[in-house]
Structure 1
Amino acid sequence: MKLGHAALWCADLEAVRTFYETYFNGRSGPKYVNPTKGFESYFIRFEGDAALEIMRSTQVVERGATPGLGWCHISFTVGSEEAVHTLTEHLRADGYRILSEPRRTGDGFYESSVADPEGNPVEICA
Structure 2
Amino acid sequence: MILEHVAIWTNQLERLRAFYETYFGATSNAKYVNPSTGLETYFLTFSSGARLELMQRADIPENKNDTIAQYRGIIHLAFAVASPAEVDKIADRFKEAGLTILRGPRITGDGYYEFETLDIDNNRLEVMAKYGGDV
TM-score by length of 2: 0.88
Rounded to whole Å, the distance in 1 between the matches of 2:84 and 2:115 is: 10
1:119 paired to 2:128: no
Alpha-carbon distance in structure 2 between the residues aligned to 1:83 and 1:118:
24
SS at match of 1:60: coil
CA drift of 1:65 comes to 5.9
User: Do 1:11 and 1:61's aligned partners in 2 also have CA atoms closer than 8 Å?
Assistant: no
Kindly report which structure 2 residues correspond to 1:1-126, keeping only aligned pairs within 5 A, or say none.
1-64=1-64, 66=66, 67-126=70-129
RMSD over aligned Cα, in angstroms?
Answer: 1.2
Contiguous gaps of at least 5 residues in structure 1: none
Q: Which runs of 5+ in 2 are unaligned?
A: 130-135
Residues 122 and 65 (structure 1), Cα distance of their counterparts in 2 relative to 1, 3 Å cut? closer
Query: Quick one: distance in 2 between partners of 1:92 and 1:63?
Result: 25
Report the number of matched residues: 126
After the TM superposition, which parts of structure 1 deviate over 2 Å for at least 4 consecutive aligned residues? 64-69
Identity of aligned residues (%): 40
SS of residue paired to 1:6: strand
